[in-house]
Amino acid sequence: MQPDSVVHYTPMIRDMDQRDRPRERLLQVGERALSSAELLAIILRTGVGGENVLRLSERLLAHFGGLPGLAKASVTEMQVVKGIGPAKAIEAKAALELGRRLVASSPELKPKVTCPADAANLLMTEMSFLEQEHLRLVLLDTRNNVLSTPTVYIGSLNTSVVRVGELFRFALKENAAAMIVAHNHPSGDPSPSPEDIRVTRQIVEGGALLDIDVLDHVIIGQQRYVSLKERGLGFD
């Protein structure tokens, strides 16, 4: 991760292909398909010093460890991140407070995963910038509401070291009806390796034995993801 004082010059939003601009993407594919960084970029609107607003949003989220950390940060604390002044900090804080009030007014409201994009967006902010591979689970109830998202393994995925039974211990403890496996590629490229596919196959077979649906294995890169289920890799 680069220090906040280092600014890399990146294409401005106006110079990006229209299909890649956050606002246009929201209109085309809907808000749920956008990453947290893209949604935050829409709120912040402009970058600073030759850095586009999407990169600024990624740095802001990375600095605070994702949305939960950002939500806890004060307006003053947000301004520690280069490029975030009082106006941008206030705008971000107001948007986060609206989200908090929505959840507070609807106690029954829980994150729901209905597609690979939901799972990827739930974890992408936290996992995109990790320097090691982390294997996490998205544990779900019978209505696909998220119960928890524990980290169960850190290190390169390998069938000789990843204990499939350990994954299901977490699922059984939460009484989960289903789960999604997710891990990151520190390189930023989410393309699955042969080992990723082998691990997926073992996990799917374990779920069948324990009557826990393994819905997907999502690999997370930098603002990109791959669903092995969609590609038919490791799933019959």
Nearest to 142 by CA among 213, 204, 210: 213
Residue ranges in the chain assigned as alpha helix (H): 22-29, 36-44, 53-64, 67-72, 75-78, 86-105, 116-127, 164-173, 194-210, 228-231
Does residue 104 register a pLDDT over 70? no
**Residue, of 14 and 84, whose pLDDT is higher:** 84
Paired sense of beta strands 151-154 and 178-184, if any: unpaired
Does residue 204 carry a pLDDT above 60?
Answer: yes
Q: Is the pLDDT of residue 12 over 70?
A: no
- Torsion sign, CA atoms 173, 140, 183, 56: negative
Dist CA 185 CA 219 (whole Å):
7
Minimum mean pLDDT among 32-41, 81-90, 122-131, 171-180: which range? Answer: 122-131
Of the candidate ranges 63-67, 101-105, 198-202, the one whose mean pLDDT is the lowest: 101-105
Over residues 158-193, the pLDDT tens digits come to 755 678 888 899 999 999 999 999 999 999 899 999
Cβ-based neighbours of 148, under 8 Å, separated by 6 or more: 137, 139, 170, 174
Sketch the domain layout of the chain as residue ranges: 13-105, 116-231
Q: Flag whether pLDDT at 209 surpasses 80.
A: yes
Total-model pTM = 0.61
Q: Average pLDDT for residues 1-9, to the nearest whole number?
A: 43
The CATH H-level superfamily of 116-231 is: Cytidine Deaminase, domain 2 (3.40.140.10)
Mean pLDDT across the chain, nearest whole number? 86
Give me the numbers of helices (H) and strands (E) for the chain, helices first please.
Answer: 10, 6
What would be the CATH architecture of the domain defined by 13-105?
A: Orthogonal Bundle (1.10)
Residue 19 is predicted with a pLDDT of 76
